[in-house]
Amino acid sequence: MNDALASVIDLLDLERLEDNLFRGQSHDIGAPQVFGGQILGQALSAAHCTVEERAPHSLHAYFLRPGDFNQPVVYQVERSRDGGSYSNRRVVAVQHGRPILNLAASFHAGDRGFDHQFDMPRVPGPEGLSKSIDIQDSIIDRVPEKMRRLLAHRPPLEFRPVEAPKFIDPEARPPRKHVWMRAWDRLPDDPELHRNLLTYVSDYELLGTATLPHELDFSTRPVQMASIDHALWFHRPFRVDDWLLYACDSPTSHGGRGFTRGQFFSQSGELVASTAQEGVIRPWDPQKAG
């Protein structure tokens, strides 16, 4: 199996310390802190370990502090409710004795009901599009050292952007982008694994959508970006080892915060999941920060 994919699968497999207490390892993706998607995926995995015969349909989380990728993270699960149809769990991710994330997740066995969805955006398919890692490798020698470490990271999924990434084309444009994604290798038939992996990668690409309507050259104008919160809804069954279209937009940015939304479509056009995120996004002055 692809090394990056196998590494993330290992990260999402938590060690059970007590009935409601779990520990997960961390890894470095080239950013100054733990990747937010790792904490989200592990927190959902911890919550799911305390629920039987119900699948998650939504999660809502707040990032409280940057995580340290040199240390493991402990997840404390509170079994808030087990009702006739729904179960709810609250998870606190702790590192160095302090919470770094609060997450609430809801689980449901599924019911029959009405069915509708938005149409999938009409964009080119993944065939023939360049891989993100090839695009990044082509410019890695021309970017600052801090950005070079991030671009050198190998994600667990293959990404193929429909539009040119912002670090390639800094011009202002409408705040919408589309990225095809798929796991590098075929995965086991385990819906929980596919949901946890989608939770992990839902933090890729999303917040950067809020930079698109602004002319920004990241190599010359530093920008501070950090997730504040994250929400994710699972609508229909899916596999992350089949192509998924991640359609992102940013309705607004104001007050040093950007708001972004995303929808995941299967290649056949089914809307399988939706996400939303608000994050810090503002010009960064290294001298003032120092």
pLDDT above 90 covers a percentage of the chain that reads 79
In a domain, residue 119? The reply is no
**CATH code, 10:** 2.40.160.210
In a domain, residue 53? The reply is yes
This prediction's pTM: 0.93
In a domain, residue 180? The reply is yes
* H-state helical runs in 140-230: 145-151, 191-201
**Number of structural domains in the chain:** 1
User: Using N-to-C axis directions, what is the helix angle for 36-48 and 191-201, rounded to 10°?
Assistant: 150
Looking at residue 24, its amino acid is G
Round to whole Å and give the CA distance between 59 and 9: 20
pLDDT digits (tens, 9 = 90+) for 23-69: 999 988 888 899 999 999 999 999 999 999 999 999 999 999 999 99
Which of these, 134, 244, 124, lies nearest to 187 by C-alpha position?
244
Q: Which strands form 223-234's sheet, in the order they lie side by side?
A: 15-18, 21-24, 73-82, 86-95, 98-108, 55-63, 223-234, 271-283, 257-266, 244-254, 176-183, 157-161
Round to whole Å and give the CA distance between 201 and 36: 9
In a domain, residue 118? The reply is no
* Phi, then psi, of 78 in degrees rounded to 5: -105, 125
- pLDDT for position 153: 82
Contact 236, 191 (CB under 8 A): no
Catalytic residues: 203, 227, 277
Mean pLDDT score, 147-160: 85
pLDDT digits (tens, 9 = 90+) for 248-265: 999 999 999 999 999 999
In a domain, residue 45? The reply is yes
The answer to whether residue 178 scores a pLDDT higher than 90 is yes
Looking at residue 20, its amino acid is N
pLDDT digits (tens, 9 = 90+) for 90-144: 999 999 999 999 999 999 998 989 999 999 999 999 999 999 999 888 877 777 6
Determine the structural domain holding residue 230 and report its residue range. 3-109+130-289
* H-state helical runs in the chain: 3-12, 36-48, 132-139, 145-151, 191-201, 286-289
In a domain, residue 201? The reply is yes
CA angle 280–212–281, rounded 5-degree value: 10
Contact 76, 94 (CB under 8 A): yes
